[in-house]
Amino acid sequence: LAKTTQPISMDSYEGQEVNITCSHNNIATNDYITWYQQFPSQGPRFIIQGYKTKVTNEVASLFIPADRKSSTLSLPRVSLSDTAVYYCLRSTNAGKSTFGDGTTLTVKP
């Protein structure tokens, strides 16, 4: 299965912008990239999805370069409540959706 690669952990401080990059070198033409947030003992929560270039919503931005081999989730002005595990998900047109190992983001006061 095609997994994505992310940093295992990141630390940040309240109010800072956080950028988490995900590698997906073997991404196929029809694949989408979706980011999820997960708190302990809860199901993942959708953050943002994209195919190419830049997508922005009320909570985050997603940057995907032209070659689509990576993507960067940008969280503006994080708060303590943003401490969670963030997953970059590659959704393939074969019907498989594989989670990578996730990035544990710790936001400090």
Tokens coding 103: 């990035």
Number of residues located near other proteins, criterion CB under 8 A: 26
**Does residue 109 bind other proteins (CB under 8 A)?**
no
Least Cα distance to 107 among 82, 77, 73 occurs for 82
Stretch that binds other proteins, among 19-27, 28-36, 59-67, 69-77 (CB under 8 A): 28-36
Q: How many CA atoms lie within 13 A of 90 on its CB side?
A: 26
**Does residue 21 bind other proteins (CB under 8 A)?**
no
Q: Where in 48-107 is the site for other proteins (CB under 8 A)?
A: 49, 87, 91-102
Cα–Cα distance for residue pair 74/2, rounded to 1 Å: 23
Among 22, 27, 31, 62, binds other proteins (CB under 8 A): 31
Nearest residue (CB) to other proteins, 16 versus 61? 61
Tell me which amino acid residue 78 is: V
**Does residue 26 bind other proteins (CB under 8 A)?**
no
- Which string of DSSP letters, residue by residue, matches 28-55? -TT-EEEEEEE-TTS--EEEEEESSEEE
Binding site for other proteins (CB under 8 A): 1, 30-32, 34, 36, 41-46, 49, 87, 91-102
